[in-house]
Amino acid sequence: APNSWESRADTYSLYGFTDLPSVHARGAVVVTHGKGPYIYDTHGREYLDANSGLWNMVAGFDHPGLTETAKAQYDRLPGYHAFFGRMSDQTVMLSEKLVEVSPFEKGRVFYTNSGSEANDTMVKILWFLHAAEGKPQRRKILTRWNGYHGVTAVSASMTGKPYNSVFGLPLPGFIHLGCPHYWRFGQPGETEAQFTARLAAELEATIIKEGPDTIAGFFAEPVMGAGGVIPPSSGYFHAVVPILRKYGIPIISDEVICGFGRTGNTWGCETYDFVPDAIISSKNLTAGYFPMGAVILGDELARRVQAAAEAIEEFPHGFTASGHPVGCAIALKAIDVVMNEGLAQNVRELTPHFEAGLARLAEHPNIGEWRGKGFMGALEAVRDKATRTPFDGSLSVSERIANACTDTGLICRPLGQSIVLCPPFIITREQMDEMFEKLETALKRVFDEVA
């Protein structure tokens, strides 16, 4: 109907990251409210959101502690900045807290409005630092194919996805290394250890070829998220971190998805046993209740960057809403809720159940692989399991499965050939069973159609 919510959404909105034929076929879902892990649309239909919004609504959609904290802070101080040596008390407290819960003894925090801006900010911090230390040529950024770091011109250049070519990106000097997905990129006869060693050798060869003195830093997600939920091949970080250390290249852990419990520990770098030089945080930082990102500099970088700023009397960077008091108050509460109200614990306790559900669905002849870590999971659709041959791209099987899920009252995300599940941390065992049942119904329906 022309006046429906769906058609009004279709008429006036430029959809981001949306498969347009698929949304035209099915129509938009216009969401009015949420409860626990469920969202409701304008027709009153209920959907279990197995994506936690966009990985971020980890405490669900109606956490009273978070909404009350927001309301109270709006009453006290509804907005302020962090320029000119002025900032809110909430900002001070959050920075202290973030350093306390970080893997660093000491550190400094810089705030943004999003994860993209946090990565952009980190790149500018590195450029600023190297130039101040007399090495202005250290500008190249190393990331990986299938890594996702955001959409601003710099963070999209870091993102290792071919779709950015429509923007003429990446910018020069953004170098993408191999994706550590053994199942997909391992060569015939290559063991996982050999695969990891090959990626480490590629990293070192790239550093030597480009010149260590031209590289500003290395950015990686502990588990790749938007690239399709890709945990690193075994031993990956233990292999690449020493090489980066050998050449003095700063290591930045993009914890926008992994941070605050998603992989079962506070940080993804903890899960993979490495200590970076800085952490990028967003999404879970406020449990999705406020748009905010943060750069957390570890002790050494913090000292060097502060010294560089002192030398020219200023770090000339910042956003109007950097360190927004409402965002900071919500983040303080969200960290407390996730760490002390049993949410992180629920992730650890239900991970075996989550993995068992994924493994069971992966028995289907058209699921080639299940993979995951903590509450991040993916099932990869294949036409032929033995040869790992994907379905024809134009068939877009994962889009069809996601649409079929929507029909059954489940939101899950198609990413490439995979279906991704990243439930909120508050999900119960029963709700998880409901999630798998609905997904199984959708999978069977679509695979029967395309078989």
- Name the residues that contact ligand PLP, by CB under 6 A: 114-116, 119, 148-150, 221, 225-226, 254, 256-257, 282
Phi, psi dihedral angles at 426 (to 5 degrees): -85, 0
Residue the block writes with tokens 């893997």:
103
Minimum separation from the CB atom of position 225 to ligand PLP (A): 4
Q: What is the token pair recorded at 388? A: 């790992």
Residue (51 or 406) nearer to ligand PLP, CB: 51
| Calpha distance 105→341 (Å, rounded) | 25
Of residues 382 and 412, the one with the C-beta less far from ligand PLP: 412
Judged on CB neighbours under 10 Å (0-12, 13-18, 19+), 280 is: buried
- Closest distance between ligand PLP and the C-beta of residue 221, in Å? 5
**Helices 89-101, 325-340: inter-axial angle, 10-degree rounding:** 40
Q: What is the 3-state secondary structure (H, E, C) of 259-276?
A: CCCCCCCCCHHHHCCCCC
Q: Give the nearest distance from C-beta 389 to ligand PLP in angstroms.
A: 28
Q: Which is nearer to ligand PLP, 357 or 416 (CB)?
A: 416
The smaller minimum CB distance to ligand PLP, of residues 222 and 298, is found at 222
**Bridge pairing between strands 174-177 and 418-421:** unpaired
Nearer to ligand PLP by Cβ, of 254 and 380: the residue is 254
In 3D space, the residue among 31, 78, 73, 35 whose CA is nearest the CA of residue 57 turns out to be 35
Report in angstroms how near the CB of residue 227 gets to ligand PLP at its nearest: 9
Q: For tokens 């997909």, what's the residue?
A: 184
Q: What angle do CA 285, 287, 290 make, to 5 degrees?
A: 80
CB of 172 to ligand PLP, least distance (A): 21
Phi, psi (rounded to 5 degrees) for 445: -60, -50
- CB within 8 A of 47, min separation 6: which ones? 29, 38, 39, 40, 41, 406, 409, 410, 411
* Cβ 113 to ligand PLP shortest distance, Å: 8
Minimum CB separation of residue 163 from ligand PLP in Å reads: 14
Residue 127 CB, nearest approach to ligand PLP (Å): 19
Q: Which residues pair with 109 in a beta bridge?
A: 296
Comparing CB distances to ligand PLP, the nearer of 230 and 401 is 230
Q: Which is nearer to ligand PLP, 114 or 146 (CB)?
A: 114
- The CA-atom distances, in angstroms, between 425 and each of 190, 276, 279 are 37, 25, 21
- Side chain identity, residue 95: S
Q: Which of 136, 158, 141 is nearest to 149 (CA)?
A: 158
Q: State in angstroms the smallest separation of the CB of 21 from ligand PLP.
A: 23
Of 226 and 367, nearer to ligand PLP (C-beta) is 226
Select 51 or 114, whichever has its Cβ closest to ligand PLP: 114
Question: Which residue lies nearer to ligand PLP by CB, 119 or 398?
Answer: 119
Q: How many C-beta atoms surround the C-beta of residue 96 within 10 A?
A: 12
Work out how close the CB of 375 gets to ligand PLP at its nearest, in angstroms, rounded to a whole number: 14
* Residue nearest to ligand PLP as judged by C-beta position: 115
Cα 371 to Cα 422: distance, rounded to the nearest angstrom? 12
Taking the CB of residue 77, how many other CB atoms lie within 10 A of it?
Answer: 14
